[in-house]
Amino acid sequence: MVVNVMRGGPGLGNIAGSQADYHQATRGGGHGDYKVVVLAPASVQELADLTYLAFDLADRYRNPVMVLADGLLGQMMEPVVFPDPIAKLPEKDWTLRGAKGRPSRFSRSLILDTKLMEEHNWKLQRKYQMIAQKEVRFETWELQDAKMAVVAFGTAARVVRGAINRVRKEGLQVGLIRPITLWPFPAGVIRQAAARIKEFLVFELNAGQMVDDVALALQGQAEIFFYGRPGGPTPTPVELAKIIASRYYQRLRK
Amino acid sequence: MKKVYSRPKYLKPVPNHYCPGCGHSIVHRLICEIIEEMKMGERVISVAPAGCAVLAYFYFDFDTVEAAHGRGAAVATGIKRSLPEALVFSYQGDGDLAAIGTAETIHAASRGERITVIFINNGIYGMTGGQMAPTTPLGMKATTAPEGRDSRREGFPLDISHLLAEIPGSAYIIRTTVNSPKTIRQTKKAIREAFQCQLDDEGFSLVEVLSMCPTNWKLDPEQSCAYIDQVMSRTFPPGVLVDRRQKQKPAGEEES
């Protein structure tokens, strides 16, 4: 289980909040055809809930799980109710506690035989498919009558809520799709929304990373407008409302 | 009236961000005085750390590169190997050098790199708010050892300079303090010797400076100076840890 609290970069960077490690988290950047489950909290309560879930998923699937937060969440205090701990974990045939009363076993990732290594890789891919089927998590808000969908995660999604509150008062029909698992990415809900909604706005605290996954999900079925702020600044709901409204008027009100 | 002292030429005329009573500004000043006296301003290249002194390049008026956290000795290696005529020093705190940078530091010494490391040891992680460091003495409180460092729970403080002194590549390693005018003068002499050791192509040199951190020690500046004598110096006794120089005569007793 890994926690990454993203901050402005690149290089030494700063300690302001950012979302610029999305690609590194979801695409790996490490060695091999692996996937890490990535959970993106948008509040301190969710940070607590998803941390518990992260351990649970890592244990259940024997897979790394990352909680991907940002510098604002990292430096924020909010009231939290802790979930109940899980009393009993599932039995496993691969743990090491000393070979008492059973044959010895070993834990390793070295597989020199390429045929065996390929088999192992396909086994992992089947596991990832199972995770993708069962563990996608997202939230939608004000989407039912929306003519424009904003896609945002983490703290950015919180700013979007404030912005949507404002633009709704002007009669603009805007909704939010908030991925909670970044991998597996909630492509399904985005694709479904694109049956009715043809204008998507992606807002991230970076120069454009999750927008790639939105584009992959949409497969050209809708227009995407990207608004991003890399390096650590966070726009206010008022600022973002202006961006959303401007795009909405441009595209939806002739 | 005769002017007997002024701001060193290589210390930029800007206010610095260091806390009142911190040792960084003292050591910065000493380094700048030495660079001027040795006429090295155009040949020196320094490496800044992560930590409170990350902004050293706002204060040193000579070429400086910022290294990733802990990697100062490795970056200095690259610079010195490509520019052997430069005077290259890395300026690092105890977290930088002895926690995240342990590997780079040990192996630079092992390879006998002709660099000088200025090691500022305040026994704590300063910039991040006072967590326990490898060099935190037993009994000292930190945010991650709120009851005080206990050897059973948190292990013993690491005397990394002592370790480095065992390595044949280390030509000159000395530990000083900056908690009194006398020890400040000793520190200046030590840094100067270390720079000369590099210019004489003798090997790796390091000056460890026990430095005050009133903010994270939760003491006032005067108490912090006393703490260096009463606590820090007991865990890390000042003095020459190793002197393998051939060209200099062995470092004598501290000037009294």
pLDDT at B256: 40
Residue A94 is assigned to a structural domain of this protein: no
Q: Scanning every residue of chain B, which has its alpha carbon at the shortest distance from the alpha carbon of A12?
A: B68
Query: Is pLDDT at B255 greater than 50 in this prediction?
Result: no
- Please choose, from the candidates B139, B124, B145, B135, the residue with its C-alpha nearest in 3D space to the C-alpha of residue B98: B135
Q: pTM value?
A: 0.91
Q: Distance, in angstroms, between A11 CA and closest chain B CA?
A: 8
Residue A31 is assigned to a structural domain of this protein: yes
Question: B24-243 is classed in which CATH architecture?
Answer: 3-Layer(aba) Sandwich (3.40)
DSSP string, chain A: -EEEEEBS-STT--SSB--TTHHHHHH--SSSS---EEE--SSHHHHHHHHHHHHHHHHHHT--EEEEEEHHHHT------PPPPPS-PPP-SS--S--SSS----------SHHHHHHHHHHHHHHHHHHHHH---EEEES-TT-SEEEE--HHHHHHHHHHHHHHHHTT--EEEEEESEEES--HHHHHHHTTT--EEEEEESSSSSHHHHHHHHHTTSSEEEEEE--SS----HHHHHHHHHHHHHHHH--
- For residue A163, what are the domain limits? 139-252
pLDDT, chain B, mean: 96
Q: Scanning every residue of chain B, which has its alpha carbon at the shortest distance from the alpha carbon of A13?
A: B68
Domain boundaries, chain B: 24-243
In A, what residues contact B, Cβ < 8 A?
11-12
- State pLDDT tens for residues B93-133: 999 999 999 999 999 999 999 999 999 999 999 999 999 99
Size of interface A-B (CB pairs under 8 A): 6
* Radius of gyration of the CA atoms of chain A, in A: 20
Give yes or no: residues A65 and A122 share one domain.
Answer: yes
B48 touches chain A (CB under 8 A): no
Structural domain tally of chain A? 2
Q: Distance, in angstroms, between B68 CA and closest chain A CA?
A: 7
Q: Scanning every residue of chain A, which has its alpha carbon at the shortest distance from the alpha carbon of B67?
A: A12
B54 touches chain A (CB under 8 A): yes
- Please choose, from the candidates B116, B154, B111, the residue with its C-alpha nearest in 3D space to the C-alpha of residue B135: B154
Give yes or no: residues A172 and A67 share one domain.
Answer: no
Cβ-Cβ contacts under 8 Å, A7 against chain B? none
B68 touches chain A (CB under 8 A): yes
In whole angstroms, give the CA distance from residue B106 to residue A120: 39
Give yes or no: residues A167 and A54 share one domain.
Answer: no
Cβ-Cβ contacts under 8 Å, B68 against chain A? 11-12
pLDDT at A51: 96
Give Cα A37 to chain centroid, integer Å.
9
Give yes or no: residues A64 and A145 share one domain.
Answer: no
B100 touches chain A (CB under 8 A): no
- Give the residue ranges of chain A where pLDDT is below 50: none
Share of chain B above pLDDT 90, in %: 96
pLDDT at B168: 98
- Please choose, from the candidates A202, A204, A196, A214, the residue with its C-alpha nearest in 3D space to the C-alpha of residue A143: A196
Give yes or no: residues A56 and A79 share one domain.
Answer: yes
Q: Scanning every residue of chain A, which has its alpha carbon at the shortest distance from the alpha carbon of B128?
A: A15
| CATH code of the domain in which A237 resides | 3.40.50.920
CA angle B117, B119, B123 (to 5 degrees): 160
Residue A99 is assigned to a structural domain of this protein: no
Cβ-Cβ contacts under 8 Å, A74 against chain B? none
